[in-house]
Amino acid sequence: MREAVNLPLLCKEFILYPYQMYLARCKGADAVLLIAAILSDQDLGYFVQIAKALGMSALVEVHTLAELDRVLAIPSISLIGINNRNLETFTTDLATTTALISARQIELEARQALIVSESGLHSAADLHTVATAGANAVLIGEAFMRQPDPGAAIGPLFQPVSS
C-alpha cells in the first residue's frame, strides 16, 4: 500500500490482536483504528502502547458517552475519533459529535486531545457543523467511495458555507 501514496495511511480494520498492528506497520500504515466498542480498557491501553512503540498513531474510536468516558480514563490516549454512525441501526447523525464534545469539552481540552469526526460527512455544511462543535479533523470514507470520481468530490467539501 505504501507504494501507492505518500500521504499518511490509516489501517481501518477491526483490530482485535496485536499481530494485526505489526502487520499494518509492515504494510506501511502510519496509524491504526482502535474501536472502543470492541476492545476492553486493558486492550485499548496496551494497543496504544504498541502503536507508539511501532512509531504509529492510534485513533481510538468512540460512539457513545460511556465509551468516551472509558477512553478518557486512559491517560495515553490523545487522538479520539467520534463515529457518528450508530452501530445498532447504522444510521448517522452529526449530533453525536456535537453532543460528545459538548459533554466532555473540559476534559478533552485539558488533555489537548485531537478529535476526529467520522461517518455521515457529505458536504461543506457537515464539515462546518463538526468543526464548530470542536472537531479538529474528519474521516470520510463512504461519501468518497460512492463517487465516480472521488478526487473531484473533495473540492466541494471545502467551499465556504453561508450562514
Q: What does pLDDT average to over the chain?
A: 93
Higher pLDDT, 50 or 143: 50
Q: What is the pLDDT of residue 50?
A: 98
Per-residue pLDDT, averaged over 19-40, amounts to 97
Q: What is the pLDDT of residue 129?
A: 96
Q: Is the pLDDT of residue 93 over 90?
A: yes
Q: What is the pLDDT of residue 159?
A: 83
Dist. CA 58–CA 65, nearest whole Å? 19
Query: pTM, whole model, 2 decimals?
Result: 0.92
Alpha carbon distances (Å) from 4 to 1, 29, 89, 106, 147: 6, 12, 35, 40, 20
Dist. CA 133–CA 103, nearest whole Å? 11
Q: What is the pLDDT of residues 103-148, one digit of tens each?
A: 999 999 999 999 999 999 999 999 999 999 999 999 998 777 787 8
Per-residue pLDDT, averaged over 69-96, amounts to 95
Q: Is the pLDDT of residue 27 over 90?
A: yes
When the candidates are 3.40.50.1950, 3.30.1490.20, 3.20.20.70, 3.30.565.10, the CATH number that belongs to 2-156 is: 3.20.20.70
Dist. CA 37–CA 60, nearest whole Å? 10
Q: What is the pLDDT of residue 1?
A: 60
- Domain ranges for the chain: 2-156
Q: Which residues of 95-124 are buried (b: 16+ CB within 10 A; e: fewer)?
A: ebbbbbbeebeeebeeeebebbbbbbbbeb
101 within 8 A of 87, measured Cβ to Cβ: no
Query: What are the φ/ψ torsions at residue 51 (nearest 5 degrees)?
Result: -55, -45
